Amino acid sequence: MTAPKMKTEDFAEMQELLPPALPAFLTAQRWFGGKAHRIRATEVADIIPFGASQSEALIVLAGVEYETGVRESYLLPLLVWYADRRLNDDDLHALRVTFRGTELLLTDALRNEDFLLTLHAAIEAQATFRGMNGDLRARHSSTYRDLCPASAGVLKPKPMGVEQSNSSIIYGDRLVLKVFRRVEPGINPDLEIGRFLSEHAHFPNVPAVAGWLEYVERGGQETTAGILQEFVPNQGDAWRFTLKSLSDFWLEANERLAELSLLDPPGLFPLKRSDQPASDIARDICGSYLEAAALLAQRTAQLHVALASEPSAAAFAPEPYTQAFQAAMIKSLGEKTQSSFELLRTHVDAMTADTKLHAEQVLAAEPQVLQVFEAALREPIVAMRTRIHGDYHLGQVLYTGSDFVIIDFEGEPARPISERSVKLSPLQDVAGMLRSFQYAAFASVFTTTNATEAHTELARQRLRVAQTWYSWVAADFTKAYLNEAGRASFIPANPQQLTNLLRLHLLEKAAYELSYELNNRPDWVRIPLAGILSLLSS
């Protein structure tokens, strides 16, 4: 049974009751990003009553401080029940508090159909909900009625099964609401870029923005809490599509392994091959994937052109490189790379022989990596910086069966919103996708090779052939991207500058991957190691 409606004067007491219960609640949630840290303290910054028709609902803005001193804020939509409510699987990690002698249970509201229907209705009505220290505002875009006409009726909500850092709900296979669990002050780039592309640039290969949720403090600071977008029917993301294509590739490649592994060892720097047509053998066994990669490249270039299309909009107007910006890049890249390499040094002794050899070669090449950064940024770069995707890879693209739709413009969630809005070279997105192709190629080997085969000559042959597949795909992607981008202001006209800048971003990404894999999937550190060595030798 739902608890009775709370009054405004009750919230101050709830603000004191909730913090002690928050650490256990947060660490049990799949979307909580601080599981690797010890929580020092929690607080409730605001409580906002939300008028769900059948339930007592609250939006709680919770603050978390870790022992490292880092602070984060989380948005918690909660339903309030009497504690004698019969529990289901979604309630097992609920908040429990005793309020004026009555035990209450607070559960995740994003699993409740009544709450989700009210949430959508609030966006349609552009409602505002007043809290203790700020307001939650629900708003819809100029394209809302095109995406959700009145004739559509009530759209039944269905939470998506997979939760990562956010929670998503599908409404009637027409709309998707993404609620940001971890929030921070500022307009989330996913909303800002999404609105620009759908309402101003009219770029068709992104989900159009239908509406959003924002929390506004009394002082006026905005925080994006959610984004409502067009639902795009799809066959999964481009990562899944690519692995399926690789599975088909290996059906033939395994029969010709000796032949393919003896081909000229391909370099992993795609510009060296981007002016050459794919070989007959590449087209023969890659099937239609080369054409698909070229189409994805075209959509990527069209995205970047669209993001650079409005010089009168300050947030999207292209900007030139400056001496100060390039100096700051050199410093930042150096610090991040040295941190990754230091982490690599601490893991070398525990590696298998093949991986250890490559790791030692990469460590010896650290000065060479830093020199690549220095060479690319030493002279003035004659090209423009623009807004970019910022976290671009195969998992950020949906495959519809005939085309690609680009999603998730948040950027790297671990970085502050202010940093994710900095204008950079679109070649950083290109590098991200190229690295993703290599990940897919290696993953197709790792996931089909058992532990006893992992370091055999057969496995090494398959990895060489995976490198060959990557080389073909990367070259076609890069060629198609540059052809579509043409003389766009963000492409350096000087071929050497183009080469230097793309190599820089590829190495930057691979160096980041070192840290990620060492911390999460040590066996996969072979991928960035191979990438770095090949980039330095090609």
Predicted local distance difference test score (pLDDT) of residue 492: 96
Residue 401 CA to residue 234 CA, distance in Å, equals 7
> Cα 190 to chain center, whole Å?
10
| Pair 123, 140: CB distance under 8 Å | yes
Residues 6+ apart with CB under 8 A from 112: 52, 55, 79
pLDDT at 428: 97
β-strand partners of 63: 43, 73
Residue 407 counted as domain residue: no
Q: What is the pLDDT of residue 91?
A: 61
- For residue 437, being part of any structural domain is answered with yes
SS3 395: helix
Instruction: Tell whether 297 and 441 lie within a shared domain.
Output: yes
Are the C-beta atoms of 118 and 51 separated by less than 8 Å?
yes
Structure letter (DSSP) for residue 276: S
Q: Residue 328 is encoded by which pair of tokens? A: 């700051």
- Identify whether 269 is part of a domain: yes
Q: In the prediction, which pLDDT does 307 show?
A: 98
Tell me if 509 is assigned to some domain: yes
Residue 507 pLDDT: 96
Domain boundary among 80, 109, 138: 109
pLDDT of residue 266: 52
Tens-place pLDDT, residues 353-396: 889 999 999 999 999 999 999 999 999 999 999 999 999 999 99
Q: Which of 48, 82, 109 is the last residue of a domain?
A: 109
Q: Give the residue from 78, 109, 140 where a domain finishes.
A: 109
Q: Is residue 176 situated within a structural domain?
A: no
What pLDDT score does 451 carry? 58
Over residues 440-470, the pLDDT tens digits come to 999 999 877 765 666 678 888 888 899 889 9
DSSP secondary structure letters along 76-107: EEEEEEETTSPP-GGGTT-EEEEETTEEEEEE
Helix axes 427-446, 238-253, angle to 10 degrees: 50
In a domain, 63, yes or no: yes
Please report the pLDDT score of residue 278 as a whole number: 67
> How many structural domains does the chain have?
2
d(CA 261, CA 240): 25
Question: Which residue range(s) make up the domain with 22?
Answer: 8-109
Would you say residue 218 lies in a domain?
A: no
Q: Which residue, among 321, 418, 294, has the nearest Cα to 376 in the 3D structure? A: 321
Domain CATH code at residue 303? 3.90.1200.10
Closest CA to 374 of 330, 342, 411: 330
Which parts of the chain sit beneath pLDDT 70?
1-4, 52-54, 86-92, 162-163, 264-269, 272-278, 450-455
In a domain, 69, yes or no: yes
The pLDDT, as a whole number, for residue 273 is 60
**In terms of C-beta density within 10 A (0-12 exposed, 13-18 middle, 19 or more buried), how is residue 499 classed?**
middle
- How far is C-alpha 280 from the chain's CA centre? 36
